[in-house]
């Protein structure tokens, strides 16, 4: 469970980092995909940006006839890693595709592969991003459990204390 939790956190932080890098890139919030990839991962992304990689990226965004993301409700923001390419490249493409589907960034394949941060993307970042939303949800779940436990214990204590109070009142008389 801890491994899965850490993986979810890492994936959400990855999405936040993409949005933040778009936000930091000047007045128009547009950044080249290659520069974005290099800023996200210090690994050698330049080797991935061949013609075939750029064509594949463009094909995914211009003809999204099938989703490359699994159903998010069932996987808790689990990034789907395609077997046909490097896992870092797939994670990056899937993250871009997800942000594009959520209308947080706009991918423009022509004339150059760029991503443009949308108004919804700015709002997402200003509210703390995906990771802060995840943390707020976890805290909310914890508080709800705590409220249920306190209410049940209060009911049990009240139910058990009433006969004791009656006995104590009879004793004082």
Q: Looking at the structure, do residues 122 and 141 belong to the same domain, yes or no?
A: no
Q: Looking at the structure, do residues 122 and 136 belong to the same domain, yes or no?
A: no
Q: Looking at the structure, do residues 172 and 148 belong to the same domain, yes or no?
A: yes
Q: Looking at the structure, do residues 87 and 166 belong to the same domain, yes or no?
A: no
Could you write out the three-class secondary structure of 92-158? HHHHHHHHHHCCCEEEECCCCCEEEECHHHHHHHHCCHHHHHHHHHHHHHHHHHHHHHHHHHHHHHH
Q: Is-cis flag, bond preceding 123, omega within 30?
A: no
For residue 128, give Cα distances in angstroms to 16, 43, 134: 9, 26, 10
Q: Looking at the structure, do residues 137 and 169 belong to the same domain, yes or no?
A: yes
Number of structural domains the chain divides into: 2
Nearest-CA neighbor of 53 among 89, 83, 18, 17?
Answer: 89
What is the percent of the chain where pLDDT is above 70? Answer: 71
Segment holding 32, helix H or strand E: strand 30-32
* Residue 165 structural domain: 130-173
- Average pLDDT, stretch 123-127? 90
| Cα 113 from Cα 1, distance rounded (Å) | 38
Rounded to two decimals, what is the model's pTM? 0.66
Quote the mean pLDDT of the chain: 77
Q: Looking at the structure, do residues 54 and 120 belong to the same domain, yes or no?
A: yes
pLDDT digits (tens, 9 = 90+) for 20-48: 888 887 667 888 877 887 787 756 666 66
Position 154 pLDDT exceeds 80: yes
Q: Looking at the structure, do residues 81 and 6 belong to the same domain, yes or no?
A: yes
Q: Looking at the structure, do residues 122 and 142 belong to the same domain, yes or no?
A: no
Q: Looking at the structure, do residues 17 and 65 belong to the same domain, yes or no?
A: yes
Nearest-CA neighbor of 12 among 137, 106, 118?
Answer: 137
Q: Looking at the structure, do residues 6 and 68 belong to the same domain, yes or no?
A: yes
Q: Looking at the structure, do residues 100 and 167 belong to the same domain, yes or no?
A: no
Q: Looking at the structure, do residues 62 and 80 belong to the same domain, yes or no?
A: yes
């Amino acid at each position: 469970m801890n491994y899965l939790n850490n993986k979810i956190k890492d994936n959400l932080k990855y999405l936040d980092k993409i949005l933040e890098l778009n936000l930091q890139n000047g007045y128009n919030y547009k950044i080249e995909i290659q520069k974005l990839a290099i800023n996200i991962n210090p690994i050698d992304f330049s080797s991935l940006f061949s013609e075939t990689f750029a064509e594949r990226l463009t094909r995914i965004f211009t003809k999204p006839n099938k989703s490359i993301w699994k159903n998010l409700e069932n996987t808790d923001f689990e990034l789907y890693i395609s077997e046909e390419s490097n896992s870092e490249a797939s994670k990056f493409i899937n993250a871009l595709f997800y942000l594009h589907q959520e209308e947080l960034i706009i991918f423009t394949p022509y004339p150059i592969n760029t991503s443009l941060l949308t108004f919804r993307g700015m709002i997402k970042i200003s509210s703390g991003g995906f990771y802060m939303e995840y943390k707020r949800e976890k805290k909310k779940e914890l508080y709800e459990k705590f409220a249920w436990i306190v209410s049940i214990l209060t009911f049990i204590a009240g139910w058990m204390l009433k006969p004791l109070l009656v006995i104590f009142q009879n004793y004082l008389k």
